[in-house]
Chains A and B, each alone.
Chain A
Amino acid sequence: MELSGAEIVVQFLKDEGVEHVFGYPGGAVLHIYDAIFRQEDVKHILVRHEQGAVHAADGYARATGKPGVALVTSGPGATNAITGIATAYMDSIPLIVLSGQVQSAFIGSDAFQEVDAVGISRPCVKHNFLVKDVHDLVSTLKKAFYVATTGRPGPVLIDIPKDTTDIAIKIPYVFPHHISMRSYNPTVKGHSGQVKRALDLLASARRPMLYTGGGVILSNASAELTEFTQVLGYPITNTLMGLGSYPGRDKQFVGMLGMHGTYEANMAMHECDVLVAIGARFDDRVTGDVEQFCPNAKIIHIDIDPASISKTVRVDVPIVGDIKAVLTDMLKELKGVKKQNDSKALENWWKQIDKWRTADCLRYDRNSALIKPQFVIEKLCEVTNGDAFVTSDVGQHQMFAAQFYHFNKPRRWINSGGLGTMGFGLPAALGVQMAHPGAPVACITGESSIQMCIQELATAKQYDLPVKVINLNNSYMGMVRQWQEFFYDKRYSQSHMAVQPDFVKLAEAYGHVGMHIDKPADVEGALKEAFAMKDRLVFLDFVTDEKENVYPMIAAGKGQHEMHMAPEWELI
């Protein structure tokens, strides 16, 4: 088969199994768009802003485990994509971003719409390439998919000068089924000696704790994690990124940990004597003050990225490997031997944890005349049987979603944790809906976040993506307002969204259904009505209590045991 560079790009995507590409055209990628036009296998979704394209590809990837693909033009197309790329990078999401570039001969001459995309993206990609010769295109594409999806996943950018995709130059094309790179060989299997040391340590634990994160989801190891946890009978907490990897309603689950995690999860972390970190990276939102982190614990850490190990907190038993493989090995060993656990100690540990649980740290005022954001999420969880795909923006609403929607399955909770990108929620939801047509998809957002990528409402209309937008409208950048209330003596500098659009009319203007809800009694009905409209995007604008804060909270730089509870209640 003889193909032009542009045709190679599209044919390769098809052969690689890519069904959807999210993108936006421009001069440098016109050859590729022409090749897209002349085929039907790879479907192109035209977004309204390149940031939206990358977030949508990212949402698609998070919801499926397959790499997301975005296509943007040179210059402003590439720079608009950067926020999306950095978002995916921080959460280790596999993405391929194809950016057009000016003709190779013009590179470096400040040509029209030239930007050094490889240079600009370098700090926020797993790897990137510039393909100046069409003969290198296929091998580069193959490498890009391989690098993006293996080891610790991440975004890979391929910058393609216009002459590389020239329609007039045709070369033979063969899809490469395999690739190997001498400089890149991620470790999959855990070291057996380390696995054994970890198991010995686990068996000796009196107050064990499992701390698991996004790596479990990335490794598709929820089943193994669930079995591992249940065979051991130990308490388990998830990071924000790990929610859904263990059933959220199970009795061994003590909730999310960290800055806005539960009292029981954080106290159990502080008091445990053996900690098993699985696919979690000891982020500062989790550890608080590292000096005071898990002061009594020996730490086991399973992670595929050696650089994640002992980065912020020194660990005692590191295991480098893929979680699925390592947990499978551990389970085999565990079943072979009798548990040597001190069962009395474990019983006492659970008693202690149950005592912490009685603090009921997520309590909120259920009799309020104003709509409480927590109440909306609780109802959303009920109405969707805890089974929807839920994307989120960034702010208080994100934390309420994490605390009150009990995720039972992996890849259902889709949010920007590492970069914390406002504007992520809506385009990500479109990507999720594209991947799972017919499945309920909710985007939990705030009046400030939603306005950062609101233009994607048009994309939703064009492709009939019936996402339910749950706007928790507190008229404030609530998360910012909360910090100003606590730490700046209520000087609410620039955090009030004094002027807002009429979201109902706005939704209607884009061809969607808008609903305005301002009474607690109407919340459930509105949600039911919205989810009953299976083929429409419904924008639900909930007017919520603008004074509500997210509790519990560990102030930045404090230890995990130094939680603030909502002011009304005391610690036990």
Chain B
Amino acid sequence: MRHIISLLMENEAGALSRVAGLFSARGYNIESLTVAPTEDSTLSRMTLVTIGSDEIVEQITKQLNKLIDIVKLADITEGEHLERELMLLKVLANTAEQREEVKRMTDIFRGRVIDVMDATFTIEITGNGHKLDAFIEAMRQSDIIETVRSGATGISRGSKCLHV
């Protein structure tokens, strides 16, 4: 099963390497990992996507909780939640025809063209992983030059929340 684990951790040097080290030392999977500061400058928030059986994910959350720098943690996939990922995608857009096609697809997927150059378009698109996969699939006809994905972030719905 795929799980999204949200972590609040002390904004200390080395905190990220403790998490990464834990996963490699114990042989757990990491699908993606994102981390950034929060509105409280002493805390960072990390979102970790992992795949494992219930037993393994239980151990993962327990082991993460044991890390001294981790203040709070939740497996947001246990309840209703929202998941979003950002992707930037650069495609070849030389001819008017190509440009039209790229624009059309981008609109269908509710992306935005954020950069227009002589020969390329860069598109910004957000959504869950499936939507981004589907967009890449749909763009196969065009010449994709480069893609970059942020990795998933997520948040629980309603009153459930992760804060100190």
Contacts and interface: CB of A to CB of B under 8 A. Distances in A.
B1 interface: no
A305 B66 contact: yes
A126 B62 contact: no
A572 interface: no
A309 B55 CA distance: 11
B25 A183 contact: no
Interface string B153-164: 000000000001
Contacts of A305: 66
A344 interface: no
Contacts, number: 37
Nearest to B13: A130
Contacts of B58: 310
Nearest to A126: B68
A307 interface: yes
A241 B128 CA distance: 49
A536 interface: no
Interface in A274-308: 305-307
Contacts of A122: 14, 17-18, 21
B14 A130 contact: yes
Contacts of B18: 122
A314 B59 CA distance: 12
Nearest to B9: A183
Given A126-B68, A182-B164, A183-B9, A119 B17 contact: yes
Interface residues of A, number: 19
A317 interface: no
A172 interface: no
B65 interface: yes
A108 interface: no
B62 to A, nearest CB: 4
A126 B66 CA distance: 9
A474 to B, nearest CB: 36
B68 A310 contact: no
Interface centre among B66, B69, B71 (most CB of A within 10 A): B66
Contacts of A126: 68
24 contacts: A118-B14, A122-B17, A122-B18, A122-B21, A123-B25, A126-B68, A130-B13, A130-B14, A181-B68, A182-B71, A183-B9, A183-B68, A183-B69, A183-B70, A305-B66, A306-B66, A307-B62, A307-B63, A307-B65, A307-B66, A309-B62, A310-B55, A311-B59, A314-B55
For the complex of A and B, the 9 pairs showing the least CB-CB separation, nearest first, are A307-B62, A183-B71, A127-B68, A123-B25, A306-B62, A184-B68, A122-B21, A307-B63, A307-B66
Given A306-B65, A309-B62, A311-B59, 4 more contacts: A122-B14, A182-B164, A183-B68, A310-B55
